[in-house]
Copies of this chain bind each other. A is one copy, B any other.
Amino acid sequence: MNSVGRSWLLLTGFVLFYVIYLLFGALMFSSIERPVEDKLRQDMEALKQEFLNQSCVNSTSLELFLVKVLTANKYGVSVLGNSSVTSNWDLTSSMFFANTLVTTVGYGQSTPLSDTGKAFSIVYALIGVPFTMLVLTACVQRIMCPLVLVPVRLLQRSGMEPRPATFVHFLLLLLVVVVCFFVVPAAVFSSVELSWSFLDGIYFCFISLCTIGLGDFVPGTQPGQKYRQLYQVTVMVYLFLGLMMMYLLLRTFHKMADLHGLTTFLQLPHCDESDLEDDREPIVEGKREDQAPPCQTEKKASKHLKPGSQPTYNTINSG
């Protein structure tokens, strides 16, 4: 089969498998969560009925009251007595919100109430998200040398072959990240947050550092939290460092995959020649030798720049 056909086949396979994966997830989540949800729903119904029976409140006025309570709660305003002291929009909490916005974690435990707030969120994230990516990239570039290049070289010096060396290094880095950015923080969170188990801590770290940010667990939101502001700042620093390490891990994995030929195997031909069959003139007239239609050029270039040719690892590769 030619490369174009293979490329389409691979893409169709990817999309098909993506849909199957979603369906599989749906079936699993549905079968795991549905019974628990049904139980909770029944409990709530019973609770409501009990509350109505014990009091002289009529069903309609309770319903009206609860609608308002739940709407306010959606915006982070709780009707409970002990929670009215702390604001979601004091300086540290606002900074925490701004931080979750630009890192695209977005817990949503507090969300803008006003139209001005929503509009400002859009503008703020529009600048903030790319800028945060830039800062993270710059930081990862900085730590790439001491945390990736030097250790790989040391492993090789100790007599290891280049490919196993990168593999061992990746495993070691993974272990360090898992311990320092998942296990230890999870232990800390589960001891600081009264209602969190260790699994909740791990779940929070994972959901945060993948930037999913479901927001069912958000540190520093329990009423009467000691040193709440300091705690929130610490979580912000943790998030930043954690995202940096996740990014480093991703880049290291990508480089290792390049070295083992995995990326080349999965890479699709960039452009379909047939798209331009009737149109084979160069983009720019004259002045350059390597004139070719843009797609051909990209294809040709992708050979030069194919993942395996990543320079840093190339030197290792040659060993």
A73 to B37 Cα, complex, angstroms: 11
- Do A11 and B150 touch across chains, with their CB atoms under 8 A apart? no
Given A14-B134, A25-B94, A311-B304, check contact A149 B294 (CB 8 Å).
Answer: yes
**Residue among A125, A132, A212 having the largest count of chain B Cβ atoms under 10 Å:** A212
Residues of B within 8 A of A245 (CB): none
A144 at the binding interface (Cβ < 8 Å):
yes
- Count residues on chain A whose CB falls below 8 Å from chain B CBs: 157
Contact residues of A: prevailing secondary structure: helix
Chain A contacts with B in 139-157, Cβ cutoff 8 A? 139, 141-142, 144-146, 149-150, 152-153, 156
Q: Which residue of chain B lies nearest to A309 when distances are taken between CB atoms in the complex?
A: B305
- Do A80 and B67 touch across chains, with their CB atoms under 8 A apart? yes
* Number of copies of this protein chain within its complex: 2
Given A30-B89, A120-B29, check contact A66 B79 (CB 8 Å).
Answer: yes
Interface string of A178-206 (1 = CB under 8 A from B): 00000000000000000001011011001
- Do B270 and A199 touch across chains, with their CB atoms under 8 A apart? no
Residues of B within 8 A of A202 (CB): 122
Chain A contacts with B in 102-151, Cβ cutoff 8 A? 102, 104-108, 111-122, 124-129, 131-132, 134-135, 138-139, 141-142, 144-146, 149-150
- Do B112 and A29 touch across chains, with their CB atoms under 8 A apart? yes
